Structure 1
Amino acid sequence: MSGFSEDMPFFDEPNARPSAPSGIAARAMAARSGHNNAPDYLKGLNPEQRLAVETTEGPVLVLAGAGTGKTRVLTTRIAHILATGKAFPSQILAVTFTNKAAREMKIRIGVLIGEGNVEGMPWLGTFHSIGVKLLRRHAELAGLRSDFTILDTDDVVRLIKQLIQSEG
């Protein structure tokens, strides 16, 4: 058994000492102990949600079913990062899949931290809106002009019909 100390008891042996919490367990206990002095935006979160919100170093994966508070955790985490000065509003990237979800996030964050701060979040939006913003900002790198137009399927069909009609 190289790498293991022979005198250290295995976890289920009678003389095994409980180890001090570390990693995620230590952070969870610290989050619970500071619960009374918590800012208002942290109140009402369960321990797992609070841990996800307050863990600001390194990545956090929030994996949960429908209606379990994932959006609440995400918006509260953004509010916490802003409230603790870990980032400016313009330094946060929050990507959603629908315009409805993006609007909802902006509203929720605005309620938590103030409307003016949300307006300073240009990188909160849908995958498509953020992609367009990046393309417009760096259009020349993609061989485009910054005032390019995006056509959806209906626009393309309408344009082709107009071209065919104009050419007879």
Structure 2
Amino acid sequence: MKKYKVIKKLLIIITVLTITAGIALFSLISGEKVKYIGYSQNKTWEASIEKSGKTSIGPNYFLNLYYRGNKENEKKTVIKRLTLFIDGRKYEEDKDYHLSEYTGEKLEGGGTGEDHIQTFEYMPENEVIGHEITVEAAWKTDHESYKEKFKLKRIHWYD
């Protein structure tokens, strides 16, 4: 009878360890979402590159840019140019982004507006993962122009 209790306890422990190891292994294989994050020197900007859920053309990434500066200036700020550097290769976007459209405020018809700019979509995974990534933002607030360049660093899902 004592042998039976010991075997039963061992089977329970082995089952729990097997399930835990299986979940951990599954997370490592399928759940790794590589992400790059960076902040401008004066913390006005936060940028991240994340994996897209749109995989019809294969794994791809996009850039999110968040304004973390003075809220009073947010509605008066216009991004004039966004530049993405991947291993020194330059990708530019000269579209004007009016931050007044990206405040995350509630919309009249219901819902909430975007609180960040999403751009440089459909970057192939092999051009992002393992490369040095830098973002440069050039913007205007009132009649003053500014420019900041900052690096993004790789963050793993377990960090």
The normalised TM-score by structure 1 is 0.25
Q: Tell which has more relative contact order, 1 or 2 (C-alpha 8 A, sep 6+).
A: 2
Of Structure 1 and Structure 2, the greater helix share is in 1
Of Structure 1 and Structure 2, the greater strand share is in 2
Q: Whose radius of gyration is greater, 1 or 2?
A: 1
The normalised TM-score by structure 2 is 0.26
